[in-house]
Structure 1
Amino acid sequence: MPWYFYLALKQLFPTGRRFPFFTFISIVGVALGVALLVVSTSVMGGFGHEIRRMVVETQGEVQVRANGFIDDPAGLQQRIAKVPGVVATTAFAEGVVMLESERRPAFPGIQGIDLNTVTKVVPLDRYVRVGSLEDLDDDSIILSATLAHNIGARLGGKVEVYSPLLLERLKNDEVLLPRELTVVGIFEVGHQQLDSSTVIVTLRLMQDLYGLQHGVHGINVKIADGLDADEMARRINAALPPESGAVARSWIDTNQDFLFVLSLEKNMIFFLLTFIIIVAAFSVTSSLLISVVRKTREIGLLGALGGKPRQVAACFCMQGLLIGCGGTLLGLALGLTTLFFRNDIIRGFTELTGSQEVLVRFYQFSQLPAYTSRSDLTLIVVCAIVISTLAGLLPAWRAARLKPVEALRSE
């Protein structure tokens, strides 16, 4: 072990003494900055990751839509299936209906799915908490959890569905009775908006409710793992016939504005919280400068014994490096522990302030999401260690400039 590295360890952790106050404060300052960066970037990354999961698992990686509706979905699906990288496709139709149960009305979004192909593209059966997707037919419906609770619907109960087609018939003095459907399932995705305003029916029933005949509103596409969604959307667009008017868009393109806002917020938070580490680095610099002034004679003695200026400087740079490494490890442990108990912390805070409903209403998630990527952790670790090491440069430069003779004369 080089002597300057050994001396740096001895100055930070003197033998036979309690844990030095300077070392403790310096490490804790860096640790708090690292912990805040880990928590903030993970939570912001969690929102983006959760949005991606829900979009992909409810719509697929790529979605094909037309300006109106697609007249020949089967022919279009055959063309899309021939594109290399496409795993499966499923047609869908969607809209808005009025739902009534026990005289409680609601106006949810409705989606008609093809039971033969839907599970090959999106794992809807995974989110059915009560009942089963297999029980769905043309005379039944699956409700989202919060919606079912709000209108008092339960498994096996009846709900009445009023579609816009009913209003169109009334304008022509025609009578069209609402459809009475049996609730065969209740699903929960974990996103407040989806769980409070969505119902699922068969594609045939949806076509009847909206008078689409054999048409659909779009086609969801599942692609092979590891492929880029934007590139696959371009390939699919090249295979689509121009006369169909259909356009393929990736989930990234569809949610581009929202994802940009999340990325901007994440980067701004990272930039602002980095200043906490910089402030901690200034305290390290000031403490090491005081150490240089107090130990001027010892530094002169090192030079008189043959120590080179760069070795004396390395001693103080090593102290900054060691503080950075120690603070980073402690900060990672603190940040990851906070993330592990994040929902318990949020639950306790909201119960204390009575803001549970506000959190759900504005952030749309029943639990606080978190996703820690390796690139974010690597960037945080590198920034913390580099900034802490740089904090030792000024004291190191000051110590290296001391001449042994003048330093030994210092009082």
Structure 2
Amino acid sequence: MNYEDWISYRYLTASKGRFLSFLNFISIAGVAVGVTALIVVTGIMTGFGNNLRDKIVGTTPHVIIEKETGVHNFAQLIEKLQGVEEIVGASPFIQGNVFLEESGQATGLVIRGIKPETEVQVTKVNEYMVEGDFKDIIGDNVVIGAELARYFGFKLGDKITLIAPGSGLAGQGWRYDFKIAGIFKSGMVDFDMNLVVVNLVKAQSIFGVAADTVTGVGIKLKDPYLARGIKQKIYDIVGYSFLVKTWIDVNRNLFDALYLEKWGLFFLNPDGLGGIV
């Protein structure tokens, strides 16, 4: 018996020689239960954080390049980025706010215009399709989230009316009729409830922008965790008249909330903050 084992044996043995007295048993059981609870809670929090990050990375470009007045000549911008080794894909997008007119109600939504053939290189929205085909985002076709479809009872092939605020006569907005060509389910309720996806050309028409102008360009990297380090390299290429944001920047509030929740675990376990972006 080595020294450590002898010390443990002495502390675990009662004064009258009975092994594991009732008091010692209660003490050990209490420590065991506490450690088990800590491990379980830490595992749940870490798993939740990892799952959330996977969903965010699947629906959000790793890096977004935007400009307040819009990105003009976006094809030229994408061409400049092709020489960056860490970049594996780039896709333009138009994004804005619209209203869904249904049953006499107007529900605010985010509309995103994309090029299906390049969007698949940047996000995984095409992999989240549960009905229809992502490639059918052409003309007046639209793809909506599963939560939005469930809430209003929409089905594939249904017609919906979207209103672009302030674009019509007297600022009343123009109405656009779309056909539901697909439904996606990412697992993120806000995303699945509030986003509608249309073709880039249609979105440009809705918001009255030129064919070579977009809201921004989404970028996919070899590794999403390279996003922070590559920001400066992108700024050096495109200039500081653009705004470069990472997927972490876009979801900063969410990650800050997770970080604060894990602080509670930190006081119980120094490793409790592991896994936070």
* Fold shared by both chains (TM-score > 0.5): yes
Same amino acid, percent of matched pairs: 29
Q: Give the CA deviation at 1:11.
A: 6.6
**Map 1:232-271 → 2, pairs under 5 A:** 232-242=230-240, 245-271=241-267
2:185 matched residue in structure 1: 188
3-state SS of paired residue (2:76): helix
Say if 1:139 and 1:181, in contact at 8 Å, map to a contact too. Answer: yes
1:209 matched residue in structure 2: 206
Structure 2 residue identity aligned to 1:169: G
Q: Give the CA deviation at 1:225.
A: 2.6
Cα distance between partner residues in 2 of 1:241 and 1:8: 65
1:356 matched residue in structure 2: none
2:196 matched residue in structure 1: 199
Pair 268,6 (structure 1): closer, same or farther in 2 beyond 3 Å: closer
Pair 129,118 (structure 1): closer, same or farther in 2 beyond 3 Å: same
Larger radius of gyration: 1
Say if 1:101 and 1:160, in contact at 8 Å, map to a contact too. Answer: yes
Pair 46,212 (structure 1): closer, same or farther in 2 beyond 3 Å: farther
1:220 matched residue in structure 2: 218
**Map 1:38-49 → 2, pairs under 5 A:** 38-49=39-50
Structure 2 residue identity aligned to 1:69: G
2:2 matched residue in structure 1: 2
Say if 1:140 and 1:184, in contact at 8 Å, map to a contact too. Answer: yes
Pair 13,78 (structure 1): closer, same or farther in 2 beyond 3 Å: farther
3-state SS of paired residue (1:120): coil
Cα distance between partner residues in 1 of 2:272 and 2:24: 27
Pair 155,53 (structure 1): closer, same or farther in 2 beyond 3 Å: same
Pair 239,106 (structure 1): closer, same or farther in 2 beyond 3 Å: same
Equivalent pairs counted in the alignment come to 270
Say if 2:57 and 2:224, in contact at 8 Å, map to a contact too. Answer: no
Cα distance between partner residues in 1 of 2:3 and 2:167: 89
Which structure's residues are more often strand, by fraction?
Answer: 2
Find runs of 4+ consecutive structure 1 residues off by over 6 angstroms.
Answer: none
**Map 1:12-161 → 2, pairs under 5 A:** 12=12, 20-101=21-102, 103=104, 105-161=106-162
Cα distance between partner residues in 2 of 1:94 and 1:183: 19
Say if 2:117 and 2:135, in contact at 8 Å, map to a contact too. Answer: no
Pair 13,228 (structure 1): closer, same or farther in 2 beyond 3 Å: farther
3-state SS of paired residue (2:223): coil
Pair 162,6 (structure 1): closer, same or farther in 2 beyond 3 Å: same
Question: Structure 2 unaligned runs (5+)?
Answer: none
Q: Quick check: 1:171 aligned with 2:170?
A: yes
Pair 152,257 (structure 1): closer, same or farther in 2 beyond 3 Å: closer
Deviates more, 1:97-106 or 1:127-136: 97-106
Cα distance between partner residues in 1 of 2:3 and 2:49: 49
Cα distance between partner residues in 2 of 1:41 and 1:158: 46
Say if 2:168 and 2:174, in contact at 8 Å, map to a contact too. Answer: no
Cα distance between partner residues in 2 of 1:45 and 1:253: 20
CA-to-partner distance for each residue in 1:319-345, whole Å, 9 max, x for gaps? xxxxxxxxxxxxxxxxxxxxxxxxxxx
Cα distance between partner residues in 2 of 1:226 and 1:58: 12
Say if 1:40 and 1:270, in contact at 8 Å, map to a contact too. Answer: no
Cα distance between partner residues in 2 of 1:73 and 1:2: 72
3-state SS of paired residue (2:210): coil
Say if 1:100 and 1:151, in contact at 8 Å, map to a contact too. Answer: no
Q: Give the CA deviation at 1:50.
A: 4.0
Pair 107,128 (structure 1): closer, same or farther in 2 beyond 3 Å: same
Structure 1 residue identity aligned to 2:180: V
CA-to-partner distance for each residue in 1:206-236, whole Å, 9 max, x for gaps? 1111111221111111111375211111111
1:325 matched residue in structure 2: none
Structure 1 residue identity aligned to 2:56: V
3-state SS of paired residue (2:35): helix
Q: Give the CA deviation at 1:251.
A: 1.9
Cα distance between partner residues in 2 of 1:194 and 1:246: 26
Cα distance between partner residues in 1 of 2:248 and 2:80: 23
3-state SS of paired residue (2:144): strand
CA-to-partner distance for each residue in 1:163-213, whole Å, 9 max, x for gaps? 12xx333128xx986222111111122222112211111111111111112
Say if 2:12 and 2:19, in contact at 8 Å, map to a contact too. Answer: no
Q: Give the CA deviation at 1:72.
A: 1.2
**Map 1:379-390 → 2, pairs under 5 A:** none
Say if 2:91 and 2:119, in contact at 8 Å, map to a contact too. Answer: yes
3-state SS of paired residue (2:84): coil
Cα distance between partner residues in 1 of 2:79 and 2:174: 37
Say if 2:77 and 2:238, in contact at 8 Å, map to a contact too. Answer: yes
Cα distance between partner residues in 1 of 2:6 and 2:215: 71
